[in-house]
Amino acid sequence: MTQALWIKNPLAILADNAEGGIVVKDDRIVETVRRGKQPVYSGGMDVVDASEHVVLPGLINTHHHFYQTLTRACPPALNKELFPWLKALYPIWAGLTPEHMALASRVAMAELLLSGCTSASDHHYLFPASLTNGIDIQVEEAARLGLRVTLTRGSMSLGEEDGGLPPQSTVQDDDTILTDSLRLIDRYHDAREGAMVQIALAPCSPFSVTPDLMRASADLARSKGVRLHTHLSETEDENEFCQQVFGMRPVDYLESVDWMAGDVWLAHGIYFTEQEIARLGRAGVGICHCPSSNMVLASGIAATLDLEAAGAPVGLGVDGSASNDGSNLIQEIRQALMIGRLKYGASRVTHWDALRWATKGSARCLGRDDIGTIQAGKQADLAMFKLDELRFSGAGDPLAALLLCGAHRADRVMVGGQWRVIDGEIPGLDLTELQQQHSKKAADLIKEV
């Protein structure tokens, strides 16, 4: 048993009645302390002076493609919209190997941690012959860095020869996909409170899998009690594709394959009608808003406030590093605030809204009630920022300053009661060496095509 820890008197904290800080014991928050009070907890306690820190619940990223850190600002894919962008990148991604995957995942997760992220979901859907164990590698890398993860076993089964978008060498047949999905759930999925690894099933998108695989994935996920994820309604092109191939719009398609349910969360969710938003809300389908990616590819702006008002959980995601091209979650919250204001007006989207999407909203998308808020009984997942850089000088409201002045690096990050970032560094990780290895592998991958 470890000694309890009082994170004392924060400069600001995103929690109710916790101005005096919080007490952490083992992997949980055991107490929030009111302003000017001492903890009720009576055992031995270490103290961290948080008077220079803004304390947030650990940030939660609900959509990413870790492998894409290898194709950032990739010349063949620059300045393109979604479909041509994908077609430029698929042949490069088809050459992924286990070593690529390990380095790419390590880079993405290190970036996430350093930006205050404590839980991340990755959507990995590429299983070429040279890389069949991508998720197994991610499990190892996440354990090494101590990041909490929901790893989604993605899939692509509709290749170019059958009217889909991806090249044939990147797709698998349904049996292979479902057998491997079952193996990963049985081997890694932890349904308990405080789980560090969960598995979900994630056919890539309507334009890369068959309706049969969507249905079979839903059946398997429900029989094993895991969640479902996919990309949906990201662009008008996708709406047209669904009309042409399936004779219906994406939300009708989702319903037709039995995916309109509370165990589903979708990446993007932009092109919905008012009626479709109401249907998604009634079903409790979660939406992961990906503002940077939606701006890079000029896809559109998600109707976050309308979706939430309809009852749909709204979370936040950095999306893959080929369309962001970073993995910085606190910066993504700033992007969500800005683009939200552009859509709805400055008084309707507040810093509280944007912070809620990246914490409580994201936790709901992942189906978790043990993370996402600072309350007694929840997991001790915390992101602590200092406002000591020039960009914050003169700032008034510390919580608003994080987003408005552009915080980009956490000073301390705790996951399940363990410090994973201290003084802005990840203990035990040589970032310079990682960066050298990763850059070299990225250059090799692009050269091979």
Q: Which residues bind Zn ion (CB under 5 A)?
A: 267, 319
Side chain identity at 217, as an amino acid letter? S
**Other Cβ atoms within 10 Å of 51 Cβ, number:** 9
Contact 81, 40 (CB under 8 A): no
Question: How many residues make up the chain in this entry?
Answer: 449
Nearest to residue 399, comparing CAs of 307, 316, 337, 306? Answer: 337
Cα angle vertex 262, ends 261, 264, to 5°? 75
Give the closest residue to 294 by CA, choosing from 344, 239, 245, 338: 338
For Zn ion, the closer of residues 124 and 351 by Cβ is 124
- Find the shortest distance in angstroms from Cβ 63 to Zn ion: 6
Closest to Zn ion by CB, 111 or 319: 319
Q: Nearest-CB residue to Zn ion?
A: 319
The minimum distance between CB 151 and Zn ion, in angstroms, equals 14
Distance from C-alpha of 370 to C-alpha of 193, rounded to nearest angstrom: 6
Rg (CA), the chain: 21
Beta carbon nearer to Zn ion, 332 or 381: 332
In this complex, which beta carbon is closest to Zn ion, that of residue 89 or of residue 277? 89
Q: Between 268 and 364, whose beta carbon lies closer to Zn ion?
A: 268
Shortest distance in whole angstroms from residue 89 CB to Zn ion: 12
Smallest gap from Cβ 402 to Zn ion, in A, equals: 25
Nearer to Zn ion by Cβ, of 57 and 291: the residue is: 291
With contact defined as beta carbons under 8 Å apart, do 45 and 2 qualify? no
- Helix or strand or coil: residue 421? strand
Cα 449 → chain centroid? 29
Nearest CA to 164 among 83, 104, 263, 250?
83
Element (H, E) at 60: strand 59-61
Quote the Cα angle for 210-213-217, to 5°. 150
Q: Is 371 helix (H, G, I), strand (E, B) or coil?
A: coil
Handedness of CA 249, 87, 150, 410 (dihedral sign): negative
Toward Zn ion, which CB reaches closer, 39 or 154?
A: 154
Looking at the Cβ atoms of 319 and 325, the one nearer to Zn ion is 319
- Contact of 291 with 341, CB cutoff 8 Å: no
Minimum CB distance to Zn ion, residue 306 (Å): 22
Instruction: Supply the minimum distance, in Å, between the C-beta of residue 210 and Zn ion.
Output: 20
